[in-house]
Structure 1
Amino acid sequence: MNTVKIVAIMLIIAGVLGLVYDRFSYTKETQEAKLGPLELTVKDTQTVYVPVWVGIGAIVAGGGLLLFSGRKN
């Protein structure tokens, strides 16, 4: 299996996951203050929303890559 087909399959999987899970969250830790041995940190949760058109676009792009990677010139 060549790299183009692997990338195409990864795009399709990412597109399907983007449609199924329309958002994902991650925790960002920032250092607010450091006073000698005392360190204050803040954990902030960020949520990223994945638009539907991005998921559909990834599926279409992956399908197009799979379709056209099999053709020989």
Structure 2
Amino acid sequence: MNAIKIAAIVLIIAGGLGLAYGGFSYTAESRQANIGPIELTMNERHWFSIPVWAGMAAITMGVLLLAVPRKN
């Protein structure tokens, strides 16, 4: 397999996951207060949504990379 086919497969998989899950969440820790030996922290959960058009564009680009013949 060459690099273009691998990139195409990765794009198709990433686009499919983006459409299936719609985004991902992550936790960010922030320091709120530091009073002597006591440290107060807060965990914030953030959601990053992936637009439908981005998932569809990734799938389309992956399919095009696989379908378009290349000159060797």
What TM-score range do you get, normalising by the shorter chain? 0.7 to 0.9
Distance 1:31 1:7 in 2: 40
Distance 2:40 2:63 in 1: 48
Normalised to the residue count of structure 2, the TM-score between the two structures is: 0.85
Taking only aligned residues, the RMSD between alpha carbons, in angstroms, comes to 1.5
Distance 1:7 1:36 in 2: 52
Q: Which runs of 5+ in 2 are unaligned?
A: none
What residue number does 1:26 align with? 26
Matches of residues 1-73 of structure 1 in structure 2 within 5 Å?
1-68=1-68, 70-73=69-72
Normalised to the residue count of structure 1, the TM-score between the two structures is: 0.84
Q: Which runs of 4+ in 1 moved over 4 A?
A: none
Q: How many matched pairs?
A: 72
Q: Which runs of 5+ in 1 are unaligned?
A: none
